[in-house]
């Protein structure tokens, strides 16, 4: 049966049964000339003489390039179409594409019909198709293919071994019939490194001619291991998988050149106070963001505690009785308005918290409301870090740039999958996902600090070391009765609050005036107070970052 485009398939390698339509054409003669080269490749010249009973545009020729051996391994035989002409050498229009396990050659012009007798001459080169046995090498080749759509009156093949030496012994056999048939309704002769094969009767639709031609070992050089490796890769078909490798290589190069922080010193030096900018210590949120290059709940809760320590906010712990357990809530009252002594982020956070309740509010009132302020707070914090020249660009903008690039690749990959033929659709989707992965992974690490930022980072790590491993005699020598409260916001931001509190066991510290406890402070113990601070920061984080279902945060 001719297809809808008016091309008549000549040969099929699929497992579908032959279908009707033999009245449309007949293969008068199928002749194949095979020249085996010393490098184990061979060239094939196929002459297909067809009689068309109906006008058609042309024919298809499908040649397999993937096989499965007895062990179940897939063997690829790289195949290159060299030319397609008529019997006198005039070029014919054709298009080549890989479809599954075959190379599909569509011969003809979509604007022109042909009828009557037509001759098609196809030249192609094949590699990795020879077999190597202990006592001889062999070409085992399906000359015509199977599952034809029309009978073949005569099929023949001649094989020539292009070798400097003549083989002392030649092996030959031929088979006819459907795929897997051992019927030998054919004849052959061999002499002087060549063999001739021919069918004795016509071949029905679905039948073909297969030949075997063998020669002494040593006349043909087997392909090298490197060649076999590249054939197994099948770069012509799988070139698309080079894109993820290129993406990974590009991102590693970009990270190495632009994403790494500059080295300012080899070792971390213990610091006993936070780093300063313009003679002012940086805020807890800035310290936290310099460590992980993002705004997280600790940065906000530490800033709230920092505002309380500085006297701008007072925190009052309240208890609500429950049936089984009491729950804690915290009232934040504004002590004074933000002024020039606060950083931009501290001012922005304070105004956001008290925007609807100028005098004060419970932390629980922020739930499902405060999250709307997070994007502005994030931008304010990053802008402050850029203003202080710790970063050249906002870390968030850099990460977003790579995220956008990744989504563009996903969209492009989806488009590619839509326009490519079905056998490449899955590959296009997989490749786009693998190509995007390095962008997403490395994009998070691409924000790079300046030398000033890297130096401040090292100072913060040194200060974190002090907060985490502070020794009792050192704290006593510092002689500051408010030292615990002074650096508590930084300990929260750097996630070492418990260590900082434990360091003050047996050391007198003034009870915090900025925190009101239901039972008051009879004897202030920082290690016990750390539990209250932990509950406070947990409640703040939960309330400030909570959002109604379906709303995005951050």
Per-residue pLDDT reduced to its tens digit, 87-99: 999 999 999 988 8
Separation between Cα atoms, residue 430 and residue 426, nearest integer Å: 6
Confidence check: pLDDT of 194 > 90:
yes
DSSP secondary structure, 345-369, as one string: HHHHHHHHHTSS-SSEEEGGGGTTT
Report the percentage of the chain scoring pLDDT > 90: 56
Q: Which residue has the tokens 């002494």?
A: 216
C-alpha 192/C-alpha 150 separation (Å) is: 35
Domain range summary for the chain, segments of one domain joined by +: 11-233, 242-260+399-445, 276-392+449-545
Topology of domain 11-233, per CATH? Immunoglobulin-like (2.60.40)
Bridge partners of 56, per DSSP, are: 114
Residue-level pLDDT at 12: 38
Q: Residue 5 above 80 pLDDT? A: no
- 3-state SS of 407-441 is HHHHHHHHHHHHHCCHHHHHHHHHHHHHHHHHHHH
- Report pLDDT for 70: 63
Find where tokens 């070992």 sit.
217
- Two structure tokens written together for 275: 């780093």
Are 113 and 55 within 8 A, CB to CB?
A: yes
| pLDDT exceeds cutoff 60 at 378 | yes
- Please state, for a pLDDT cut of 70, what percent of the chain lies above it: 90
- The pTM score is 0.65
Q: β-pairing, 7-9 with 58-64?
A: parallel
Give tens-digit pLDDT for 246-275: 889 989 998 998 888 898 877 889 999 999
C-alpha radius of gyration, the chain, whole number: 40
What phi and psi values does residue 32 have, to the nearest 5 degrees? -125, 125
Residues 414, 419, 424: CA angle, nearest 5 degrees: 75
Residue with tokens 């690039």: 405
Tally the C-alpha atoms within 13 A of residue 67's C-alpha that lie toward its C-beta: 19
547: Cβ–Cβ under 8 A, 6 or more apart, which residues?
Answer: 368, 371, 553
pLDDT band at 23 (very low <50, low <70, confident <90, very high): low
- What the block records as the tokens of 45 is 């010249």
């Amino acid at each position: 049966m001719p297809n809808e485009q008016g091309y008549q398939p000549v040969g099929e390698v699929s497992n579908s049964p032959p279908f009707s339509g033999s009245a449309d054409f007949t293969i008068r003669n199928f002749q194949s000339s095979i020249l085996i080269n010393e490098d184990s490749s061979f060239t094939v010249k196929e002459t297909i003489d067809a009689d068309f009973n109906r006008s058609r545009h042309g024919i298809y020729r499908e040649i397999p390039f993937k096989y499965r051996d007895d062990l179940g391994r897939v063997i690829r035989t790289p195949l290159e179409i060299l030319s397609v002409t008529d019997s006198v050498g005039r070029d014919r229009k054709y298009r080549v594409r890989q479809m599954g396990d075959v190379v599909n050659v569509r011969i003809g012009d979509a604007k022109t019909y042909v009828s009557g007798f037509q001759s098609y001459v196809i030249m192609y080169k094949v590699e990795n198709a020879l077999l190597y046995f202990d006592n001889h090498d062999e070409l085992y080749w399906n000359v015509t293919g199977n599952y034809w759509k029309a009978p073949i009156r005569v099929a023949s093949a001649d094989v020539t071994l292009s070798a400097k030496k003549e083989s002392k012994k030649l092996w030959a056999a031929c088979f006819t019939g459907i795929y897997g048939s051992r019927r030998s309704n054919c004849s052959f002769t061999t002499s002087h490194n060549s063999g001739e094969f021919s069918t004795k009767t016509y071949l029905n639709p679905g039948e073909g001619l297969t030949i075997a031609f063998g020669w002494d070992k040593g006349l043909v050089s087997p392909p090298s291991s490197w060649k076999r490796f590249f054939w197994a890769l099948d770069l012509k078909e799988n070139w698309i998988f080079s894109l993820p490798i290129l993406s990974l290589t590009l991102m590693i190069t970009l990270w190495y050149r632009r994403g790494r922080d500059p080295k300012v010193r080899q070792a971390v030096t213990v610091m006993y106070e936070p780093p300063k900018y313009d003679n002012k210590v940086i805020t807890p949120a800035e310290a936290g963001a310099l460590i992980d290059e993002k705004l997280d709940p600790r940065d906000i809760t530490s800033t709230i505690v920092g505002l309380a320590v500085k006297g701008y906010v007072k925190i009052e712990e309240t208890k609500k009785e429950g049936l089984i357990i009491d729950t804690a809530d915290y009232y934040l009252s504004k002590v004074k308005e933000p002024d020039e002594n606060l950083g931009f982020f501290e001012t922005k956070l304070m105004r956001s918290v008290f925007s609807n309740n100028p005098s004060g509010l419970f932390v629980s009132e922020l739930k499902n409301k405060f999250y709307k302020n997070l994007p502005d707070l994030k931008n304010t914090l990053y802008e402050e870090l850029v203003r202080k020249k710790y970063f050249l660009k906002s870390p968030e903008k850099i990460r977003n740039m790579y995220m956008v690039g990744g989504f563009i690749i996903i969209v492009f990959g989806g488009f590619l999958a839509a326009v490519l033929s079905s056998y490449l659709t899955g590959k296009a989707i997989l490749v786009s996902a693998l190509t995007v992965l390095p962008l997403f992974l490395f994009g998070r690490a691409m924000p790079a600090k300046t030398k000033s930022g890297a130096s401040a980072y090292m100072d913060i790590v040194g200060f974190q070391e002090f907060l985490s491993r502070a020794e009792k005699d050192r704290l006593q020598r510092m002689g500051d009765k408010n030292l615990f409260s002074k650096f508590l916001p930084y300990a929260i931001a750097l996630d070492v609050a418990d260590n900082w509190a434990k360091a003050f066991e047996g050391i007198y510290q003034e009870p915090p005036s900025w925190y009101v406890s239901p039972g008051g402070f009879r004897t202030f113990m920082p290690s016990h107070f750390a539990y209250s601070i932990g509950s406070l920061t947990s409640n703040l984080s939960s309330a400030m970052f909570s959002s109604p279902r379906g709303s995005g945060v951050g």
